[in-house]
Amino acid sequence: MIYFDYAATTPVDNRVLNAMIPYFRESYGNPSSIHRYGQKAETAVDDAREKVADVLHCRPEEIIFTSCGSESDNLALRGSALARRKTSGEKWILTARNEHHAVSRTAEQLEKEFGFLLEWLDLDEHGAVSPASLSKAIRSDTALASVMYANNEIGTINPIAELAAVARSSNVVFHTDAVQAAAYLDVNVEILGVNLMSLGGHKFYGPKGVGALYVRKGTKLMPHLTGGGQEFGLRAGTQNVPYIVGFAEALRLAAEEREARTAHVRPLRDQIVGRVLEGISDSKLTGHPENRLPNHASFVFKDVDGNLLLQMLDSAGFACSSGSACKTGNPEPSEVITSLGYSRDWALGSLRVTLGVDSTPAHVELFLKTLPGLVEKARSLNQR
């Protein structure tokens, strides 16, 4: 099997795994315990928090460890919306329909169950939110705006620093889901200017089951989990020490090796995009043609069943995706794809190909020789 689904998850880097292993058996203490076992575990969590803060250019106390990127999104949206309404009465939430469901469905729940008002931001033809569209949507009682750094399904990168500046000028809390972006883009929060930023470890060669939320000092959040007061009272529960250690090491390596990793995947991605668009009829690139993640190629093929194509690719030895891993197997077109304005005969035929450190030119060449025939076969089966 050749793996082309790095946007869904990545294998754990051996260096990350080696950093984690001692905290499963040797240094297994609870960070909240007073004895030396606990002190050693607490030191590991503190060191990891400092390591993450170094990459983000923030204070260690602005880092909250969570179980995943989705939990970070939930804490950011629900926590900040409830806090803003309690302290100053704001009730409007702004986000886009092509956000990860951890954001869009949380926003919908806040509207339906908690009495907030929700407005969907306008998107351009590439699925990006412009500063003008955000500025147009902000009103005097806007509590929160959430726009992802880079889209997981179509790879488009949003102008986060400019969007955050628009929000800041109107005293609106600004959150970005950077779960997909952190593997390849700069997550310096001083440059980005965000109030809140979500990260997930398994997108950059760390373990699944651990994430982080950056919370700029002064940004109020309603606690997410109540209990023992861990994570500065915002997320109670015994810290997952080995996973936190792994998350921090993976993020450090992602930042340190960003240029080399980008230089490895970008030409392979460009080769895929060029050859697919040239060699397969009725094919279109989804997302921005240039301002996109360097490892990310995504397409729609007219009159193709995307799930059938994925099964055929799997049988041929390629692991790809139709978009978010959370949507695989769904016979309905992705909301991200439909938000771009594609009709159903196009939107159902989506394919996402994402590259990583183990991708090779030989893998790409084999894929490009195989894909056209499979698309043609899937199209003929769909038209029967």
Q: Which residues are catalytic?
A: 326
Classify residue 3 by its DSSP letter: E
User: Cβ neighbours of residue 181 under 8 Å, at least 6 residues apart?
Assistant: 148, 149, 150, 157, 187, 293
Scan for tokens 């982080």, then name that residue: 212
Strands (E), 97-244: 117-120, 142-146, 173-177, 196-200, 211-215
Q: Taking the CB of residue 280, how many other CB atoms lie within 10 A of it?
A: 20
The pair of structure tokens assigned to 242 is 């080995």
Q: Which of 163, 122, 127 is nearest to 145 (CA)?
A: 163
User: Cβ neighbours of residue 107 under 8 Å, at least 6 residues apart?
Assistant: 77, 93, 95, 99, 116, 118, 146
> What gap in Å lies between CA 12 and CA 113, rounded to an integer?
38
> What gap in Å lies between CA 363 and CA 63, rounded to an integer?
38
> What gap in Å lies between CA 123 and CA 129, rounded to an integer?
5
Q: How many residues does the chain have?
A: 384
Largest CA distance in the chain: 70
345-to-194, 305, 332 alpha-carbon distances in Å: 38, 9, 11
User: Cβ neighbours of residue 17 under 8 Å, at least 6 residues apart?
Assistant: 246
